[in-house]
Structure 1
Amino acid sequence: MTMKTKITTEKLPIKIWLEEGEMEEGALAQARNLANLPFAYKHIAIMPDTHQGYGMPIGAILATKGAIIPNAVGVDIGCGMCSLRTNLTNLETTDLKKIMTLIRKSVPVGYKRHSSPQDNSWMPEIKGKLPIVEQEYENALYQIGTLGGGNHFLEIQKGSDGYIWIMIHSGSRNIGFTVANHYNKLAQAKNKASDNKVPMDLAYLSEDDKDYELYWNEMNYCIDFALANRKLMMERTELAFKDILPEVEFTDFINKPHNFASIETHFGEKVIVHRKGATRAREGEWGMIPGSQGTKSFLVKGKGNVHSFESCSHGAGRVMSRAQARKKLDLKKESKALEKQGILHAIRHRNDLDEAPSSYKNIEEVMANQQDLVDIQIELQPLAVVKG
């Protein structure tokens, strides 16, 4: 086990895949709060890409008994990544630029959405009572197949296996955001009424509460929606490739969410595992760990490490906030560094600096810190990036 640090001063141990002192104070304080929850189970696991989130650190895994925390799943329910391999071993820059132009026309980014509703067949089936999903369903028809903003991306990559790959990072858009906020507010109201001493930003729903089941079902719908969203974007990307290179073929679709809760068995007991900015990594299970638009991403296989609740990092993790990046980083320097590598990048304006490579941790160090969690299978170099 190469876990770096273990904190034993709280109710439960905190196991951290970073050296002592490397974890930012805000994230560490949040981890301590998790470790003192009355329903937390066994220990808290903190991945090497961790940074402060809302209530729970990004890059954390929390197992609970009898309770679910909406904020420990996050507002972008089901956010995750998918990868797909082409049969191409080379991609000329002129063709790549044409493909990227077509992708930008067919995949709305940022706050943009489709001008007309997408085919209903892309939407997951509604089963049972899903009040917020039903309320947001019509809007979601315009948002399915859209990238969103922030750290979401669509990237064309060259793999160490010799092939061209496509990777997409996106989530459940506004439908997930609305579900998350609705049930977090309900949890906070119940938390306040009960005076249970649990921090308000970790407000929970107990399994004997009717809203627990409602949240569980709506959360799982949003996880399915996020996958459908990525699949539709991937189909539009495939069509862009085929328009320019008609003989291209695609294979090896991999999907991994990293904002979700699931019922799993760990240390002989059934528990609810919350992964917020963390990827499941069971033994032999494929996963993706992206760097930034200027650094490598990795396709990995999990090692099923019990100490991380069979999890690994979901990316490089931020080294500075978005506001800090826009204020501190140099636009020309960041842009030139990407151009020097021949990457068709998305750093064009000062507001884009929050996604500059320098705003992220060193992905090589992050990977070195989790050698006991995953085995690297394929390294992926960025060729072109679409960001929101």
Structure 2
Amino acid sequence: MENKRINGNDLIALGYKENHAMGVALKINKKRLGFTRDQMLVHFKNVLENPESYVHDKIFKPLAEVLLNIEAITRETISLKEVPVAYSVYGEEHIEEGAKKQMDTAMTLPVTVAGALMPDAHQGYGLPIGGVLATHNAIIPYGVGVDIGCRMALSVFDLPASYLEANHDKLKQIVLTNTRFGAGNGYLKQERVDHAVLDNPLFETHDLVRSLKDKAWTQLGSSGGGNHFVEFGVMDFAEKDEALGVERGKYLALLTHSGSRGLGATIADYYTKLAKQICKLPYQAQNLAYLDLQTAEGQEYWLAMNLAGDYASACHQVIHDKITRALGATLLAKVENHHNFAWKEEFEGQEVIVHRKGATPAGEGTMGIIPGSMATPGFLVRGKGKEIAINSASHGAGRLMSRTQAIKTLQKGQLKQMLDDAGITLLGAGMDEAPMAYKDIHTVMSAQVDLVDVVATFSPKIVRMADDGSRED
């Protein structure tokens, strides 16, 4: 009981309301500052009952000031819809309550038009991972996500699947030589490559973005931490795909997953804070603060987001080009898609801003890639264009447990056995990325048969991930 975290229900029991004061109290509690849980609860009760006594307290001053000004703060707060907009849910029985609650809150925003929750959904910041939200003329930085433009890229080569086993060590070395991983990591000046994205005039539109150009160049062609990866595997086309021009068969393929690195993370952090300053939402919706696209701030973020998306695509292109040259193979097909982004699209006859935070675009005929985990299949899909799902599908299997829970409970021996059984060579990665920490990809795919058709299946064989447990933040 001593170390049990104080939560919102504990504060409500003391008399707090679900408003900004609760948010400040919970933020103070994160530090704990040497107090026991019971001592913190006593202080929180005292501050609530007599905030004037704490206006000079170095720890509880921010809470006291909010409580003393709560009426003025409430008057400035934007009202949410009393009745949330209805939204569609796929694979609901496998989605945690926290994700549903976050989606419920998102549907009460005054700018919300429609929403959908994908079967890989789990709790995130603001909009849940796997959440799709259509808004009217507004952009939500946390609706896009921290890793702006995080995406998948697939290259299918003119080499048979048998090439993988016969050239295992060569392929392993190609991956190690031509990739770099980990939060903050990049290339030395003499190692950097050029790309047209660095000449994008959007780098000159804002001081913040301009200041990030050198970091962008340093990290161009690198991958982040967490679930980002570069994989060689087997691509199985059960039948010829006319649109791609790929015959039935099993091919060597390269699959990558990463985003806009430090560039995107810094942009996300800056504009999320700016949105919260401008858009005063109730406590429970604070992380859904939005920017009006008709304002200078909204346009700034929109342009910066698109630049980060172009940069993420460029990072994948550099990786794929390097590896293709090292391999000496011919490219049969290439497919890529964002899954942390916002688009201007039409929904029920009106233009909306569609946020896909961990969701794959699945308009009619749109190609996409839905990965599983380091030891489970991924899928090349073609969208069916279901408007009720806002033309979207899942972006992966989705987490079953948190990173902390995975590290504490999963066994390395269990992971090794799973990889050995599947014939997979793992380069890097921590236990937080073990397949057991994810939902079953086949269950996820079966929950969205109405949204996508499977074109081909990817089986990972050589997997590289960050070896230090890092992740972009």
In structure 1, the residue matched to 2:303 is: 217
Q: Does 1:329 align with 2:402?
A: no
**Taking structure 1 as reference, are residues 364 and 130 closer, same or farther at Cα in structure 2, changes over 3 Å only?**
same
Q: Does 1:157 align with 2:233?
A: yes
In structure 1, the residue matched to 2:44 is: none
Alignment partners' CA distance in 1, 2:277 and 2:84: 25
Q: How many Å apart are 1:99 and its aligned residue?
A: 2.0
Q: How many Å apart are 1:120 and its aligned residue?
A: 3.4
Alignment partners' CA distance in 1, 2:164 and 2:132: 42
Secondary structure at the residue paired with 1:160? strand
Q: Does 1:134 align with 2:210?
A: yes
Q: How many Å apart are 1:33 and its aligned residue?
A: 0.6
Structure 2 residue corresponding to 1:168, chosen from 244, 256, 259:
256
Q: Does 1:62 align with 2:148?
A: no
Query: Match of 1:232, as an amino acid?
Result: V
Alignment partners' CA distance in 1, 2:425 and 2:142: 35
1:160-309 aligned within 5 A: 160-161=236-237, 162-192=250-280, 199-242=285-328, 248-309=329-390
Alignment partners' CA distance in 2, 1:196 and 1:369: 34
Q: Is the 8 A contact 1:191 1:198 kept in 2?
A: no
Q: Calculate percent identity across the aligned residue pairs.
A: 38
Q: Is the 8 A contact 1:61 1:274 kept in 2?
A: yes
Alignment partners' CA distance in 1, 2:392 and 2:83: 22
* Alignment deviations for residues 45-98 of structure 1 (CA, whole Å, 9 cap, x no partner): 000000001111101100000211100001100000010100111224352222
Structure 1 residue corresponding to 2:89, chosen from 16, 27, 39:
16
Structure 1 residue corresponding to 2:222, chosen from 139, 146, 161:
146
Q: Is the 8 A contact 2:115 2:390 kept in 1?
A: no
Structure 1 residue ranges without an equivalent (≥5): 1-8, 243-247
Alignment partners' CA distance in 2, 1:259 and 1:234: 20
* Alignment deviations for residues 84-133 of structure 1 (CA, whole Å, 9 cap, x no partner): 10011122435222222232122111132112262333434123613322
Using structure 2 for the length normalisation, give the TM-score: 0.75
Q: How many Å apart are 1:266 and its aligned residue?
A: 0.9
1:327-366 aligned within 5 A: 327-346=408-427, 352-366=430-444
Query: Match of 1:46, as an amino acid?
Result: L
Deviates more, 1:123-132 or 1:60-69: 123-132
Q: Is the 8 A contact 2:220 2:318 kept in 1?
A: yes
In structure 1, the residue matched to 2:465 is: 387
Secondary structure at the residue paired with 1:220? helix
Structure 2 residue corresponding to 1:114, chosen from 160, 179, 187:
187
Greater fraction of residues in helix:
2
Alignment partners' CA distance in 1, 2:330 and 2:133: 40
Query: Match of 1:101, as an amino acid?
Result: Q
* Alignment deviations for residues 353-372 of structure 1 (CA, whole Å, 9 cap, x no partner): 11111011100010000000
Q: Which has the larger radius of gyration?
A: 2
* Alignment deviations for residues 334-354 of structure 1 (CA, whole Å, 9 cap, x no partner): 111111211112467xxx111
Alignment partners' CA distance in 2, 1:100 and 1:10: 55
Alignment partners' CA distance in 1, 2:230 and 2:464: 5
Alignment partners' CA distance in 2, 1:218 and 1:340: 44
Which 4+ stretches in 1 moved above 4 angstroms? Answer: 195-198
Q: Is the 8 A contact 1:123 1:141 kept in 2?
A: no
Query: Match of 1:150, as an amino acid?
Result: G
Larger RCO (CA within 8 A; separation ≥ 6):
1
Q: Is the 8 A contact 1:258 1:276 kept in 2?
A: yes
Alignment partners' CA distance in 1, 2:132 and 2:388: 10
Q: CA RMSD in A?
A: 1.7
Q: How many Å apart are 1:197 and its aligned residue?
A: 6.8
Alignment partners' CA distance in 2, 1:25 and 1:361: 15
